[in-house]
Amino acid sequence: MVKPSYKSQIFYRHIYADHFPSSTFRSSTNKLIHRYYCTHLHQPPFKNNTILLKIYSDLRSLLFVGIRFYSKFFYRSLRSIKMSTITSTALQTSYPPILPASFNAKQPNTIRLYPLANYTFGTKETQPEEDPSVLARLKRLEEHYVEHGMRRTCEGVLVCHEYNHPHILMLQIANAFFKLPGDYLQPEDDEEEGFKMRLNERLAPVGTQFSGEGVNEEWEIRDTLAQWWRPNFETFMYPFIPAHVTRPKECKKLYFIQLPRRKVLSVPKNMKLLAVPLFELYDNTARYGPQLSAIPHLLSRYNFEFLDQQGQVVAVTPGGGPEPGTIPRTIVLTGGEEEKKEELIKENGHVEA
């Protein structure tokens, strides 16, 4: 096989290097083009016939033009159907996508999400549950209703991102029960101020445990995402009030909480703080229940901007999705020390100091 001339190498290098973004696809296609070029184009079967050589040269030029035109047309077609909204600062291709016209009319303001690595997590003293059982909790709810009327409960949806995919911060109790940060309000509490106090009870660091940016940041309560109603003194709650119910016993509101660029969060030792990806929650009522599994639906109305640790926007809705080689998963951020001790005792009979 005769080695192609320098000019020929430049030609087919342009064909595969500029139009084949995938390295795997590019390498295999390079071999095919190289083989075809060397065997069929660079070595004419007739070397002594001047007329045939002239005709062959003209045909080869036409074929080069055809290959170049076809490759450009083909990859322009690919680019037109492959949509990506990775920002220009994070783009890693010489062929940016063709973006459609604006498609965000009548939507709320875009939400900025910061990476999970921006936040600091710690633990604080155990906060035991007020009720030993579900029946005891419902009994206390009934007593509250008799004295103060419908109970008001507020919970926050705190969102960050990992690998450009939204993650929800939630608490896990006893390795089985999941809940959002928040709790019921006292009868005399203002809705927003009372909710902020409940968030501080669950997640704010104690004393001078931490210092610096994000320690004393005020909670930014944004939109109400959903309202869930408890029609009776039962465990069932609904996103509507049944027609036959005129006096619901409890209303639970879910609020979107805008996390700042940095924040310090401390969790009671008997709880775990998890970062759960949206795809894990979606349609997963068996594990998370109807309220938590509905969060992806509630957040779908928003457009997101995903920022890196330097504050640069690296992706926007509909976003770049997970980075190559990474799989978003539920992450245990802090807490769960008591469960770990119990597991060690079961395995070893004691806890090593």
- Is-above-0.75 flag for pTM? no
- For residue 308, give every residue at least 6 positions away whose Cβ sits within 8 Å of its Cβ, in sequence order, or none: 115, 314
Tokens of 66: 């055809």
The pLDDT of residue 206 is 84
* String of DSSP letters for 163-223: TTEEEEEEEEETTTEEE-SEEEPPTT--HHHHHHHHHHHHHSPPTTS--STTSSPPPEEEE
Tokens of 285: 């009522």
* CA geometry: angle 188, 127, 113, nearest 5 deg: 80
The pLDDT of residue 74 is 44
* CA geometry: angle 288, 329, 107, nearest 5 deg: 70
Phi, psi (rounded to 5 degrees) for 324: -55, 135
Q: Mean pLDDT over all residues of the chain?
A: 78
Mean pLDDT of 26-45: 49
Task: Give tens-digit pLDDT for 301-336.
Answer: 999 999 999 999 988 875 444 444 555 677 787 777
Q: Name the 3-class secondary structure at 342.
A: helix
Cβ distance 217 to 260 under 8 Å?
Answer: yes
Cβ distance 171 to 234 under 8 Å?
Answer: no
Give domain 111-348's CATH architecture: Alpha-Beta Complex (3.90)
**Per-residue three-class SS string for 218-231:** CCEEEEEEEEEEEC
Q: State whether the Cα torsion 62-68-74-80 is positive or negative.
A: negative
Tokens of 45: 């079967």
Task: Give tens-digit pLDDT for 267-298.
Answer: 999 999 999 999 999 999 999 999 999 999 99
Residue 33: other Cβ atoms inside 10 A: 18
Least confident of 79-93, 120-134, 246-260, 329-343: 79-93
Q: Which of 8-17, 25-34, 204-213, 232-241 has the highest mean pLDDT?
A: 232-241
The pLDDT of residue 328 is 63
Cβ distance 301 to 163 under 8 Å?
Answer: no
Cβ distance 330 to 107 under 8 Å?
Answer: no
- Residue of 144, 119, 147, 115 lying closest to 131 (CA atoms): 144
- Start-end ranges of CATH 3.90.79.10 in the chain? 111-348
